[in-house]
Amino acid sequence: MRDYRKFYINGQWVDPVTPQELEVINPATEEACAVISMGSEADVDLAVAAAKTAFESYGRTSRQERIELLEACVAAYQKRYNDIAEAIREEMGAPQTLAVGAQAHCGLGHLEEALRVLRDFEFEEDLGEHRVFKEPIGVCGLITPWNWPVNQIGCKVAPALAVGCTMVLKPSEVAPLSAYLWAEVMHEAGVPAGVFNMVNGDGPVVGAALSRHPDVDMMSFTGSTRAGTQVAQNAAPTVKRVTQELGGKSPNIVLDDADLEAAVTRGVLHMYNNTGQSCNAPSRMLVPADKLAEAEAIATRVSESVVVGDPASEDTTMGPVVSEVQFNKIQALIEKGIEEGAKLVVGGPGRPEGLEKGYFVRPTVFSEVNNEMTIAREEIFGPVLTMIPYDSEEEAIRIANDTPYGLAGYVQSDDVDHARRVAARIRAGNIHINGASGGYNVPFGGYKQSGNGREWGAHGFTDFLEIKAVEGFGE
């Protein structure tokens, strides 16, 4: 049982102002694996004050000083890599191979990428006799989710550190263990007191206090669209910058000239990655109507090959969903799909056979779905794929864009030029052709209700910078 009841404020581990505890549940066992404290507005005030004071000096550090700090962060993270992977497996049920190979790697990847970008980033630009400066925005409030916990911490903290900002992190209270280890990494790396602070808690209390705090200059939020709108509303009276990476209902267009076996296999496996708990998951597979039956057969074979079970086992390819709340939501949506007349191809309600405990969901595929059904409109955030038939390419593009979201899109074709033409017409922030995925240098973010701003790489620096023009600088 991990005891993570302290907060990290001003370079020290401190007790909450008002003690209030919460047990963290291991979703594979349904048993408590840790206890944390839930913060209050008073804890946020202390953390923001520390960040504000620290910004006076950290905001003026040199590029070389910040390079050396990020190098120390990389080294400290590498030492704790396996500990972080284990924490992610425990807190949100990621299979061992995913926790080690992808989840924990994200934190390291974003630190290394921020270091790479920082070495050559242009913080000044001359426009004739005038000069434009890109300066750190100040104190940043960072709110991160439970589904890719260290990824979202890393892609916010790393660029903020790189450009000279100070920050207060509120990780998800559902999966806070890896965040606690991240704070230990920051401490071991020698991040100056007050530059990085962490307060655990929930959105309505700690998140709201951060968002509306007059001394917070920017909010960076990742989570649901519903919660994101609340952050923006809380931030509005102080006119602070708000960037958001929110939900998605991403289309995966299998074009008529695609290798159907490869395209469907790739799409189904991607949907089950991280137990479907990814905002950019390819949850709507659009298939030519005359190939739907064949696509269903492929999806069934692939789904039946997925090994659901103990995340600690190297044989497991899909673990549980993160919580009882999430499990119940997914079960209700599966039932809704059946009720609305979608064809259940494989999977369905309940746990997989042989698993009586843990928040395990059956890998599920619906077919003969139309884009007005609930399972085609709402973000399920679980291992549930909807297959939507289409009669023409124009119809496929129309269906793909018929969503309030716009985080990602997927296009499958054996003719790359064909895929590129279709990709150009999808209104989403990240388009993947034939399963390609971007590196840490590729911007990540969405259109429409999937958010605003961009994270990752050099584009991820921009939201943490203010622009100052000094006229007559070169006279």
pLDDT at residue 271, rounded to an integer: 98
Q: What is the three-class DSSP state of 14? A: strand
pLDDT in tens, 158-217: 999 999 999 999 999 999 999 999 999 999 999 999 999 999 999 999 999 999 999 999
Tell the residue number behind the tokens 């203010």, with chain if given: 466
What distances in angstroms separate CA 42 from CA 45, 219, 426, one per listed residue?
A: 5, 18, 45
Alpha-carbon 119 to chain mean position:
26
Give the integer Cα–Cα distance in Å for 76 and 186.
8
pLDDT at residue 228, rounded to an integer: 96
Kindly calculate the radius of gyration of the chain based on its CA atoms and give it in whole angstroms. Answer: 23
Active-site option among 279, 296, 379, 455 = 279
Q: Which two tokens stand for residue 217?
A: 């200059």
Give the integer Cα–Cα distance in Å for 229 and 243.
11
pLDDT at residue 42, rounded to an integer: 98
Mean pLDDT of the chain, nearest integer? 98
Show the beta-strand stretches assigned E in 17-91: 21-26, 31-37
Judge whether 155 counts as a catalytic residue: no
Sequence ranges of the domains in the chain: 2-246+449-470, 251-438
The hierarchical CATH code for the domain 251-438 is 3.40.309.10
Active-site option among 245, 296, 379, 455 = 245
pLDDT at residue 474, rounded to an integer: 82
Q: Which two tokens stand for residue 391?
A: 């009669």
The values of phi and psi at residue 181, to 5°, are -70, -35
Q: What is the DSSP letter of 237?
A: G
Phi-psi region of 53 (alpha: psi -120 to 50; beta: other; left: phi over 0): alpha
pTM of the model: 0.97
The hierarchical CATH code for the domain 2-246+449-470 is 3.40.605.10
pLDDT at residue 206, rounded to an integer: 98
Q: What angle do CA 374, 375, 376 make, to 5 degrees?
A: 90
What distances in angstroms separate CA 62 from CA 11, 119, 126, 159, one per listed residue?
A: 21, 11, 20, 15
How many residues in the chain?
475
pLDDT at residue 475, rounded to an integer: 67
Judge whether 106 counts as a catalytic residue: no
Phi-psi region of 311 (alpha: psi -120 to 50; beta: other; left: phi over 0): alpha
Q: Which regions of the chain are under pLDDT 70?
A: 475
Q: Cβ distance 337 to 375 under 8 Å? A: yes
| Residue 223 β-bridge partners | none
pLDDT in tens, 259-281: 999 999 999 999 999 999 999 99
